[in-house]
Structure 1
Amino acid sequence: MSNVVNWNDAEQDAFAGDLVTIFAYTTPAGGAVAIPVSPTGGVDRAAGEISVTTSLAFNRKLRHLLRDPRVAMAYHTREHGFASGDDFILAQGVATVPLEPSPARLAAIQPDMNRFLGAAPTGPVWDWLLREYHQQRVVIDITVRRVATWPALDGRGALRVTGEPWPAEAAAPQEPPAKGTAPRVDPAKLHKQIHKLPHQVIAFRGADGFPLVLPVRAAAPDSRGLRLEFAPGLLPEGGRRAGFAAHSFGPQAIGLATRWATGWLEVSGGEAYYAPHTSAGFVAPPIKTIQTFVNGVMAKQGIRRARRDGTLTELAALKSTTTR
């Protein structure tokens, strides 16, 4: 048990209480993807683990995790959940990815899911609609290697690190992509979609291969991309592939508004610009039944598609290869 990271009570409060966090993983090209998730209090302090559950219908992230299990979770909201405080907390670790649902494990986390997200509607139609969403899920356990905490949600203040030491040197700049670094998505359009979303982060691969997720704020764009505001010294100099995420949510994570992007981050002389290359997202109405209905339909369609096109078989083969 000597390798278990002993985080403090404030960090435990966030791990056990934040309603929506950012989950980040790396890409084969050396970038990172950042997506909002609801971990519903998934933490085992004694084991030094945090966890998040995901539907097998939304399996793209699982491919990346099987290829490189180094991940990060940013606890950065304190909104509508059960945690308090103003710390920005980044947990980095190694993910264990099961490809078969565990009914016992899913039953064990159901009370926390109800506590954070509210009880799902029931009845013959709802039970049929939500069958794949509830039953075709896996719990991803993350063995925490490092917890990095800044005393303010905007990343200002002295960094505190528990677990593996923070890399002595920042990640080296990366080679530009073959298609260039200029924006491929209209920065003005993207800014219009995100400027009212309160929670914004940038993610990229750190010097030791773990994703870094850091708070930023997108200001008015120009031809170079989104101009990012950030705490002094928070972002490393140079250019690199990076993911961006902006989101908002209401109680029980209802009324989601989410936009994420992949692209190129360039930092020079205290200025940072993000050139978006891809962008996606959605806005859900603040009505629980509608959001639940959409989740059920998407999960049902996603599982059927994964079975039809062989995705689940392909994931199993990839897992077998990576665990030899």
Structure 2
Amino acid sequence: MTSPLRWPDAADAVINGDLTVAVAYVTPAGGAVVTSVSPVGLGNREAGLVGFTTSLGFPRKLERILHNPHVSLAYHTREHGFAASSSYVLAQGTASVDLSPSPERLAELMQASEPFLGETRRGPLWDWLLREYHQERVFVDVELARVAVWEDLAARGARAVTGAAWPHLPTEQKAPKNGTGPRVDVTTVARKIRRLPHRLLAYRGADGFPVIVPVKVTSHDGAGLHLDIPRGLLPQGGRRAGFLAHAFQPQCVGLEMRTLTGWLTVTEEGAIYAPHTSKGLAAPPYKNLLTVSNGLLAKYGLWRAQRDGTSARLQDLAVHGPAD
């Protein structure tokens, strides 16, 4: 039995203090999807575990993680959090999903979330409205295999690796049958992400763990988004990749996010990302309205998961694993 990975001091304040992080998981086709979550400091250094919560309202994410538990978290912005460090931290590991957390764990989560998300609304109406939001949470715990730390948030320069050695760069992937070019309007995508300052790209690494890389969009044309990338972190050739652009205000009020899937091509001349799908999410910039919205969405998500069999399917998958 191996000892838990104990991440370095340089990563500790970041893992405990970032308000929003990027999470990436692997798709059956060998790509990666990257989205943002608020982990509210969920991490146990002695146990080598980090994590986040989600809900049954996002079953696709949970199904993908249960099918392939290789997960990565990128602590990529100090905005509105508690860590003063300028380090970029990438944590990679194997996820397990707790679909039925204990009341004690849910209570601990509520207490841990208040410094990050604000005081929990209480009272008969709020308790009814937020019952599903607080009591039907799903925990994703990630047992870390590797933690990489760069001194700056752009992930440029040398990295310090704790745990498994950094793998070699993967070979290029086979092009999809429908072609590698953009399948959504690139100009529209570029316009929608222009006001979202945090941009990251994710791909499946050679050892199966997603690699999440901060990038800059320098321009766009009919071929896709042209990217400025950290040297040595994106492999040459073509591959499936996920893209995240997002913004958020204190306590995650005014959250806005756009997630893309597509095809990444890296050559000596540069990197181009051709988006194939584009999905957006925006939360209202007012605390009370956001809280009401979260409560209603959680109620609807649970009702839908019970009605269409998602809850039972996820429970079966968690217990028995994916079918061969």
TM norm. shorter chain > 0.5: yes
Deviation at 1:59, TM superposition (A): 2.1
Q: Give the match for residue 84 of structure 1.
A: 84
Structure 1: distance between partners of 2:110 and 2:92: 25
Deviation at 1:296, TM superposition (A): 1.1
Q: Which amino acid aligns with 2:27?
A: T
Structure 2: distance between partners of 1:38 and 1:249: 11
Structure 1 contact 241–264 (Cα < 8 Å) conserved:
yes
Q: Give the match for residue 51 of structure 2.
A: 51
Structure 1: distance between partners of 2:238 and 2:278: 19
Structure 1 contact 58–299 (Cα < 8 Å) conserved:
no
Structure 2: distance between partners of 1:53 and 1:284: 18
Q: Give the match for residue 290 of structure 1.
A: 289
Give yes or no for the alignment of 1:239 onto 2:238.
yes
Deviation at 1:36, TM superposition (A): 0.5
Give yes or no for the alignment of 1:278 onto 2:315.
no
Deviation at 1:270, TM superposition (A): 4.2
Structure 2: distance between partners of 1:297 and 1:171: 43
Deviation at 1:251, TM superposition (A): 0.8
SS of the counterpart of 2:98? coil
Q: Give the match for residue 316 of structure 1.
A: 315
Deviation at 1:193, TM superposition (A): 0.8
Deviations along 1:91-131, whole A, 9 cap, x unmatched?
00011112213211111122210111002322222221211
Greater mean deviation of Cα atoms: 56-65 or 25-34:
56-65
Q: Which amino acid aligns with 1:39?
A: P
Structure 1 contact 232–270 (Cα < 8 Å) conserved:
no
Structure 2: distance between partners of 1:230 and 1:193: 20
Greater mean deviation of Cα atoms: 289-298 or 240-249:
289-298
Matches within 5 A, 1:94-133: 94-133=94-133
Greater mean deviation of Cα atoms: 111-120 or 239-248:
111-120
Identical aligned residues as a percent: 51
Matches within 5 A, 1:20-59: 20-59=20-59
Q: Give the match for residue 184 of structure 1.
A: 183
Deviation at 1:219, TM superposition (A): 2.2
Deviation at 1:291, TM superposition (A): 1.1
Structure 2 contact 110–134 (Cα < 8 Å) conserved:
no
Structure 1 contact 57–136 (Cα < 8 Å) conserved:
no
Deviations along 1:134-182, whole A, 9 cap, x unmatched?
1001221110100011111111110111100111x20111111111111
Structure 2 contact 32–202 (Cα < 8 Å) conserved:
yes
Deviations along 1:248-286, whole A, 9 cap, x unmatched?
111111111111111111101141011111111122232
Structure 1: distance between partners of 2:66 and 2:164: 22
Structure 1 contact 92–146 (Cα < 8 Å) conserved:
yes
Deviation at 1:323, TM superposition (A): 8.0
Q: Which amino acid aligns with 1:314?
A: R
Structure 2: distance between partners of 1:273 and 1:320: 41
Q: Give the match for residue 214 of structure 1.
A: 213
Q: Give the match for residue 259 of structure 1.
A: 258
Structure 1 contact 102–138 (Cα < 8 Å) conserved:
no
Structure 1: distance between partners of 2:71 and 2:2: 22
Q: Name structure 1 gaps, 5 residues minimum.
A: none
Deviation at 1:79, TM superposition (A): 0.9
Structure 2 contact 13–83 (Cα < 8 Å) conserved:
yes
Give the TM-score, by structure 1 length. 0.96
Structure 2 contact 10–149 (Cα < 8 Å) conserved:
no
Structure 2 contact 94–145 (Cα < 8 Å) conserved:
yes
Structure 1 contact 183–224 (Cα < 8 Å) conserved:
yes
Q: Which amino acid aligns with 1:8?
A: P
Q: Give the match for residue 157 of structure 2.
A: 157
Structure 1: distance between partners of 2:322 and 2:230: 40
SS of the counterpart of 1:307? helix
Q: Give the match for residue 193 of structure 2.
A: 194
Deviations along 1:158-211, whole A, 9 cap, x unmatched?
0111100111x2011111111111101111111111122111100010000001
Structure 1: distance between partners of 2:57 and 2:253: 20
Structure 1: distance between partners of 2:128 and 2:54: 19
Q: Which amino acid aligns with 2:217?
A: A
SS of the counterpart of 1:226? strand
Deviation at 1:290, TM superposition (A): 1.1
SS of the counterpart of 1:41? coil
Structure 2 contact 43–49 (Cα < 8 Å) conserved:
yes
Aligned-residue CA RMSD in angstroms?
A: 1.4
